[in-house]
Amino acid sequence: MSGHSTYEPKTGIERWLDTRLPIVRFAHDTALSFPTPKNLNYWWTFGGILALMLGIQLVTGIVLAMHYVPHVDYAFASVERIMRDVNYGWLIRYMHANGASMFFLAVYIHMIRNLYYGSYKAPREVLWILGCLIYLAMMATAFIGYVLPWGQMSFHGAVVITNLFGALPIIGTPITTWLWGGFAVDNPTLNRFFSLHYLLPFVIAGLVVLHIWALHVPGNNNPTGVNVKSENDTVPFHPYYTVKDGFAIAVFMLLYASFVFYNPNVLGHADNYIPANPLVTPAHIVPEWYFLPFYAILRAVPDKLGGVLLMFGAIATLFVLPWLDTSKVRSMRYRPTARLYFFIFVLAALVLGFCGGKLPDDPVIFQPSGLMLLDADINSFVWLSRVATLYFFAYFWIILPVLGLTETPLPVPESISEPVLSHPATTPAGAVASPEKRG
């Protein structure tokens, strides 16, 4: 998509096509000859994994839609019919349901890699923002998809999440009525959710095309964060990264298959095998695991509107991240102080996820301390989520801006090839290596 093309049409038909629609040239330049930094590690394989997961979700989803009935009276039974009577329906549905979890697992690793290696920094801000849009669309798609089986968690999850918009002043109630297509979550809601669940994946696919386009203009970042200086720094995408990504994809598929075939329901919730009943509310309404950090942020704020704003604020923060991080050094390999704060950030995100699955008032350890701080015992998940939420926002809004201006980064290598060539495995005995530059 960028730079000069190395494609040479070999056959007559290729030459003929190349002067009319250079699609083979395009594919060649994008997927085969594209110059890629040669020092990408396995954290860089998740882009390929994500592309495959999107493909799997699309294919299995289209087949599921052939058998699914978007009606409150039939949705649950139609899903069970897929499981029982459709040929390999159990396989397709379990692939789709667990595929969503795997998709999120991969996207979180992809994002964490971005944060660590500073891939969002200039000139890749648009690439990062497109990624955030994909993530946002994925969250909407996953939430809507979870509603479709019309189990207890589907229904009550839909009620809780759509009601969040009701917290907005003045426009809140009209928005929820508009989303529901009525005055409660009911058949019109299920119908439009099905429609949107079919639409949004194609929106994601379109965004992915833009994402790859935006990637291929500046090219990949790499673990050193140093720009590509010469052809010595790169290898063609094929076969070097097709095979490396292929290997990583196969390992990821093993993990995915172990869920699909041996623990297909472990990531879901038992309550979703109870048909939806608006009159019976489950004891604990819990979203899927990939939403738990945001759920914890939502519940950390005692005020509903405040919680909603903070939760959406957490996602909005990601969009402005390229302008919050003031450091000129991309990779945290050369930012030891920032690296420490980064690991605490990852921990805070995991803690938030953990808190999201717990009851806010339950004690974190042993018995409640008896010490009340504002509205809750200090030994409670709600206070733990508050601390973690505070760190989540402080990391982006205070630590990254300030640290970039005050820290002293380690010396950054001149080029990608420099630390590559000083890698202990490739350095001849006796040569001077620089191990302190390794992450």
Partner 1 sequence: MLRKAIALAALGLAFLGSPALAAHPKPVERDVAWSFDGPFGKFDTAQLQRGYKVYREVCAACHSMHLLSFRNLGEKGGPFYDPEYPNSNDNPYVKSLAKDIQVPDIDQDTGDAITRPAMPADRFPSPFPNEPAARASNGGALPPDLSVIAKGREGGPNYIYSLMTGYRDAPAGLTLSPGQHYNVSMNGDLTSAWKGDHHKVPPGGVVAMPPPLAAGKVTFDDGSPSTVEQQAKDVSAFLYWAAEPKMMERKQFGLGAMIYLLFFTVLLYFSYRRIWKNVAH
Nearer to partner 1, 134 or 364 (CB): 364
Interface pick for partner 1 out of 367, 370, 435, 436 (rule CB under 8 A): 367
Binders of partner 1 among residues 147 to 176 (CB under 8 A) are: none
Residue 33 found at the interface with partner 1 (CB under 8 A): no
Using CB under 8 A, which of 4, 12, 21, 366 touches partner 1?
366
Query: Could you say which residues in the range 51-110 bind partner 1, by CB under 8 A?
Result: 77, 80, 83-84, 90-91, 94
User: According to the binding rule CB under 8 A, does residue 227 interact with partner 1?
Assistant: no
Question: CB burial class (10 A; 0-12, 13-18, 19+) of residue 200?
Answer: middle
Report d(CA 208, CA 204) in Å as an integer: 6
Shorter beta-carbon distance to partner 1: residue 206 or 336:
336
23 exposure class (CB count in 10 Å sphere: 0-12, 13-18, 19+): exposed
- Tell me if 260 contacts partner 1 by CB under 8 A: yes
Does 264 sit near partner 1 (CB under 8 A)?
Answer: yes
Cβ closer to partner 1: 163 or 337? 337
Q: What is the number of other CB atoms lying within 10 angstroms of the CB of residue 325? A: 21
Q: Out of 62, 251, 316, 398, which residue is the one contacting partner 1 (CB under 8 A)?
A: 251
Q: Which is nearer to partner 1, 180 or 395 (CB)?
A: 395
Asked whether position 39 contacts partner 1 by CB under 8 A, the answer is: yes
Q: Is 22 in the site for partner 1 (CB under 8 A)?
A: no
- 296-355 residues near partner 1, rule: CB under 8 A: 336-337, 339-340, 343-344, 347, 351, 354
> Which range of residues in 173-181, 212-220, 303-311, 364-372 is near partner 1 by CB under 8 A?
364-372
User: Is 243 one of the binding residues for partner 1 (CB under 8 A)?
Assistant: yes
Q: Is residue 274 part of the contact set for partner 1 (CB under 8 A)?
A: yes
Could you say whether residue 420 binds partner 1 (CB under 8 A)?
yes
Residue 18 CB, nearest distance to partner 1 (Å)? 28
State which residue, 328 or 423, has the beta carbon closest to partner 1: 423
273 binds partner 1 (CB under 8 A): yes
User: Contacting partner 1 (CB under 8 A), which of 246, 306, 313, 357?
Assistant: 246
The single residue among 74, 426, 431, 434 that binds partner 1, judged by CB under 8 A, is 426
Asked if 57 and 96 touch (Cβ cutoff 8 Å), the reply is: yes
- Say whether residue 142 binds partner 1 (CB under 8 A): no
Binder of partner 1 out of 253, 285, 315, 394 (CB under 8 A): 253
From 230, 262, 429, 432, residue interacting with partner 1 (rule: CB under 8 A) = 262
Strand partners, 151: 275
Per CB under 8 A, residues contacting partner 1 are 38-39, 77, 80, 83-84, 90-91, 94, 235, 239-240, 243-244, 246-247, 250-251, 253-254, 257-258, 260-262, 264-265, 270-271, 273-274, 283, 336-337, 339-340, 343-344, 347, 351, 354, 358, 362-367, 417, 420-421, 423, 426
